[in-house]
Structure 1
Amino acid sequence: MTHSPDSAHPSRPFGRTLCAMVTPFTDAGTLDLDGARRLAARLVTDGCDGLVLNGTTGESPTTTDAEKSELIAAVREAVGERVRLVAGVGTADTLHTADLARAAEKAGADGVLVVSPYYSRPPQDALEAHFLEVADATGLPVMLYDIPGRTGTRIEPETLVRLAAHPSIVAVKDCSYDFLGAQKVLARTELAYYAGCDEHILALYAVGAAGCVSTVANVVPGHVAAILDAFDAGDTAIAARLQLRATPLIEAMTAAGLPGTVTAKALLTALGRPGGPVRAPLRSADRGTADGLRALHEELSTG
């Protein structure tokens, strides 16, 4: 199949097949900009029409503000204007988040990903005010990131409906594990939904999502794109088959006890691709885990 999504489609403001890209580091733990350029170029060649940088999978909690801007600029240099770059800017501090959004715009991002402030667990009115302030900080479109399992705070469906009235708030990365809630927002707004959990790529797409922000796409971008290609072509049985074939790798990378950052980097390293170590407090996967991931990757790639 060919990968030909229209990233300018009004219902796909950031493209269709987005990868939550890891941030490559050298063996010494410093930012590997050359590796980032090579990885980004490969992801785009193999099927991604959007990249999310400096997100959870990109180890945003342990990269500096300067490193975040450097990464955006380097990836933009590598991929040009072929794909949309969305920069994670979310922090627990509204003013800091707004500053990061402005820095991302200056560095060349096409949009910003804004997660709910974590740990402080703001109530819904404060959460809404936070997102509105960040949305007003730049001219970039905003993707809200709903992942209560990490932040401790849900962006409630009614809050999302209100936020959809802001002209810059155009999308949601959904890791809510509330499929009914997602459908309610899809039915009542023009927000573009992106599946943030790889096991939900096809399910959410089938009810009107714009696409996905995939961790597994770091290692199988073509397979992720093929799921959506098949659905777009009306081959729903093939799309389902492709989604199910990816399930063992999805489970091993995102639901087997290790963060997706750790598993993605372990598998990238095993495949000889840029990735490198993770930064503390995370720890790199052991050899047995890396070997198991590689076996699942080979099974998916050759099956």
Structure 2
Amino acid sequence: MSSFAFSGLNLALATPFDDAGRVDFPRLEANIERYLDAGIRGFVLSSGTGMHVYMSPEEAQAVIARGAKVINGRARVIAQTSALMAEDVVARTRRAADAGADGVMVLPPFFEGPTDDDGIVDFYAEVAGAGLPVIGYNVPHAVGVEITPALFQRLAQIPGFASVKDSSGDLAAQAALIRTGLPVMNGADPLVPYALLAGASGLIWGGANFAPRTCLAVVKAAGEGRWADARRIWADLEPVMSLIWEGNYVQTVYAAAALTGYAAGTPRKPLRALAADRIAALHAALGPLREIEAAL
């Protein structure tokens, strides 16, 4: 994975909010420092887990700028710059570049956007012209656009198009993307070790917010070909990574992070704090992970 610019674990950082629902910048800075201390060397700022769609463009830019300033070259920075209009994506991408981002993650056009391959290629070509490496985002159940292997091969011909993050949750579909020989990033938490075995070049991982050291350990073991160790470590992660994928993803990640000492407050409206029955299920799924994480 070392030859790929965004290899290894890239943490899709949960954006902290205070009790009034405002971005909590002091906590953002403190959490970044804690994750750096844990060994995280890649961050995705204003990610889906970080509630990109529920922040104004100005707030998202402030999170990216403040985060990049705190990181200050100690880790790579990927900024999500998705928006409905291509012109807005380009503008956001240029501002991310000015802030020091190393790359951007961008959803394909959504909400009545083009679904044909030519339209998708034109869109990403325009975004790539803004000057930062672009990571496409394959999440067809959310945006109605699927990045197929054939489309991926066309996108890879765009100068500056770096990779696709696959959050489809379909391992067979992701393996088909990997078989193109192009770098694919896994974005589905329950598939991490299987995606690495299939040849994924990197990870964008929201669940790592609440167990960064354990997540890094499984990635390190896999990267070194120690698959028995990777499977053993994954056994402690798997129950909760499966749980968060079942629904209420963002709320569950925020709640789990609070339980393991990486609190980011409460998700912003319209999302609500996790319901009591889900909290109980989360406690059960975490099992010994809190103690394991603290001991690493």
Whether TM exceeds 0.5 here: the answer is yes
Q: Please point out which of 146, 150, 163 is paired with 1:154.
A: 146
Is the aligned partner of 1:210 residue 2:201? yes
Residues 127-146 of structure 1 mapped to structure 2, 5 A cutoff = 127-137=120-130, 139-146=131-138
Paired with 2:108 and 2:273, the residues of 1 have a C-alpha distance of 27
CA RMSD of aligned residues (A): 1.9
Which residue in the other structure is 2:53 paired with? 61
Conserved 8 A contact 2:236-2:288: no
TM-score (norm 1): 0.89
Match of residue 176, structure 1, among 168, 187, 195: 168
**Cα distance between partner residues in 2 of 1:42 and 1:94:** 35
Q: How does 1:216-255 map to 2 (within 5 A)?
A: 216-255=207-246
Q: Check if 1:107 corresponds to 2:136.
A: no
Partner in structure 2 of residue 296 of structure 1: 285
Partner SS for 1:140: coil
Question: 2:250 corresponds to which residue?
Answer: 261
Name whichever of 118-127 and 210-219 sits farther off.
Answer: 118-127
Instruction: Check conservation: 1:142, 1:168, Cα contact below 8 A.
Output: yes
Structure 1: give runs of 5+ residues left out of the alignment.
1-5
Identity %: 29
Q: Secondary structure at the match of 2:179?
A: helix
Count residues with an aligned counterpart.
291
CA drift at 1:288: 4.2
Counterpart amino acid of residue 124 in structure 1: D
Structure 1 residues 31 and 119 mapped into 2: Cα distance closer, same or farther (>3 Å)? same
**Superposed CA offset, 1:128-174 (max 9, x none):** 1111110112x211111101111111112111101111231111111
Q: What is the TM-score when the length of structure 2 is the normalising length?
A: 0.91
Detail structure 1 runs of 4+ shifted over 4 Å in the superposition.
Answer: none
Contact in 2 for aligned 1:15/1:83 (Cα 8 Å) = no
1:162-209 deviations in Å (ceiling 9; x for gaps): 1111231111111123434433433334x3211100111111111221
Aligned residue for 2:288, secondary structure, equals: helix
CA distance in 2, matches of 1:15, 1:205: 11
Aligned partner of 2:16 in structure 1 is: 24
The secondary structure found in structure 2 opposite 1:246 is: helix
Larger CA deviation: 267-276 vs 155-164: 267-276
Q: Which residue is equivalent to 1:124?
A: 117
SS at match of 1:171: strand
Residue 54 of structure 1 aligns with an amino acid whose one-letter code is S
Q: CA deviation at 1:291?
A: 4.7
Unmatched segments (≥5 aa) in structure 2: none
Q: Residue type matched to 1:125 in 2?
A: D
The residue aligned with 1:196 is 187
